[in-house]
Structure 1
Amino acid sequence: MTAAVVFIDLQSGYFEDPDLARIREPLVEEANRLAAAARERGFAIYHVITEHARDKSTWTLSMLDDDQGFNFVGTEQAAPLGELDLDDANQLSKIRDSAFFGTSLAQRLRIGGAERIAIAGVSGQNCINRTGSDAFAENFRVAYARDAIGSENPERCREALDMLSKELRQPILGTDELMDWLAQA
């Protein structure tokens, strides 16, 4: 297996935001389509979720400054979206925006032989952006699942992904194109 699809933060807590709530259904539908296509091609699937501790030990600086936690372990907020078909995905937990920071994702991808990864999920300008940048630093080839990435700020999301596409040569592709791109590994 030389490719993988990495889904980021498709959890209930993120979809409390009204802008993400509006796109939840089509985003989940496309994520499920992407996961099915990956399974059909034999690509590994990962779902990286954000979980924090109530004792503030995992909180970011902005969470500490605002004294407001989020996605606490074991809560409904931290739970993956119920209609998401990722039960067979390798699940990892993170405490920062990048799925690589403080996790075993890079090691797991390497052990699985992945050279190329597709990234999908939320939010494009934050967690997707930072995961893609760190994947580049880890020498993984990256493409973004255009139709399976959501954001509460679509303009900033487009800007962030456009920058990564241009600067790091990380294409933004539809699901069918993405499967062909992943198969090139």
Structure 2
Amino acid sequence: MRALLLIDLQEDFLNPPPLAEQRSELVQAVQRWIDWAREAGLPIIEVRTVLPRDKSTWARNMREDDQPVALEGTEGVERLRELDVEPDLCLEKRRDDAFHGTDLLDRLHGLEVDELVLAGVVTEACIAMTAATAYAHDLKVSIAEGGVTSYDQKRHTAALKWLNEQYRQDVVGPDDLG
């Protein structure tokens, strides 16, 4: 079974420039994917970064720069208000990889999911790390056309190329998936 996996579609990630400028277009694309999944009867899984104020779980760069994102109890952890979605499953993560320190793999197995369509931010970080780990767990991964983006277009393009060449993960549209 296929599932739509939404990653870090949160206020803290899409408020600062340059993602703020891409927000409307990204939200429209992701909403089309959400509607596609609902029409196809596929599970929608939302994974959000939520960090405690205790720095011990922050990523190294956040600790070194003393600049965390998505701190628990702040508006920044909230789902983008424009998205109309009631996910079948919501998980919280603390690192880029949605599998790291979560029970995502067990949950996917419980839903009999063996194929993921990824949407969210940012391409070269959370999307790429999650996609690579999914591959390591023998899950087929497709990248949602228009549904992923980055602060840096060159990194975005390079990450998509790497995922395709290394892991055979293609950028697809809903029509490509039937």
TM-score, L = length of structure 1: 0.93
- How far is 1:175 from its partner? 2.8
Supply the RMSD in Å over aligned alpha carbons.
1.1
Distance in 2 separating the partners of 1:26 and 1:131? 23
1:164 equivalent in structure 2: 163
Distance in 1 separating the partners of 2:52 and 2:38? 33
Unaligned runs of 5+ in 2: none
1:52 equivalent in structure 2: 51
1:183 equivalent in structure 2: none
| Contact 1:17/1:152 (<8 A) preserved | no
1:127 equivalent in structure 2: 126
Distance in 2 separating the partners of 1:70 and 1:20? 14
- How far is 1:88 from its partner? 3.2
**Residues 1-185 of structure 1: pairs in structure 2 closer than 5 A:** 2-177=1-176, 179-180=177-178
Q: Secondary structure at the match of 1:114?
A: coil
Q: Secondary structure at the match of 1:37?
A: helix
Moved over 4 A (4+): none
Distance in 2 separating the partners of 1:3 and 1:64? 36
- How far is 1:17 from its partner? 2.1
Q: Secondary structure at the match of 2:146?
A: strand
Unaligned runs of 5+ in 1: 181-185
Amino acid at match of 2:99: F
- How far is 1:176 from its partner? 2.4
Q: Secondary structure at the match of 2:58?
A: coil
- How far is 1:172 from its partner? 0.9
| Contact 1:52/1:71 (<8 A) preserved | yes
Distance in 1 separating the partners of 2:175 and 2:56? 41
Identity of aligned residues (%): 37
Amino acid at match of 1:134: T
Map Cα deviations across residues 90-132 of structure 1 (whole Å, 9 max, x no partner): 1110000011111111111111011110001000011000000
The total of aligned residue pairs comes to 178
